[in-house]
Amino acid sequence: MLGRITHAMKTIPLILFCFALNTAIVWGKDFHLTQTELHGADTDKPSESPIYVVLVPRKDDPTGGVYPVVYKSFDSQQLGRLILGLLKEKTLTSGDRLYLDFSPVMAHPPKSEIEALTVYCKKMGITVVFSGTA
């Protein structure tokens, strides 16, 4: 009888831990890195090279609000520093997902830069998801 109680006392915390882990994975936030064109005030023609916008979820905003962070070029080191800062301030957490939303008609960043960002995100616990044509 005592053995069954001891076994149950070990099993219940394990079940609760697994439930909490699954819940944390399901509740991970999504954020996007999109590729777009910059249109200047002095011309109707878009920029020759794409710009990149990270749509960062607002911290503690249940409505899903975001704020944009804009980059002139795709630089995995700059993007990695942004992600690290967001993790430190707890805007992002391990288990969140970064969607790479690249345009089907624009030139994509170098594969080496995409791979470097993907490896860095994985190290930080962020999952990179290729959406569209990435």
pLDDT at site 68: 92
Distance (Å, rounded) from C-alpha 7 to C-alpha 10? 5
Single-letter code of the amino acid located at 111:
K
Distance (Å, rounded) from C-alpha 118 to C-alpha 6? 44
pLDDT at site 26: 45
Domains and CATH numbers, the chain: 28-132 (3.30.420)
The per-residue pLDDT string of the chain (134 residues; one tens digit each, 9 = 90 and over) reads 545 555 445 555 444 444 444 433 445 788 899 998 877 656 566 566 789 999 988 877 777 788 899 999 999 999 999 999 999 999 889 999 999 999 888 889 999 999 999 999 999 999 999 886 54
pLDDT at site 25: 42
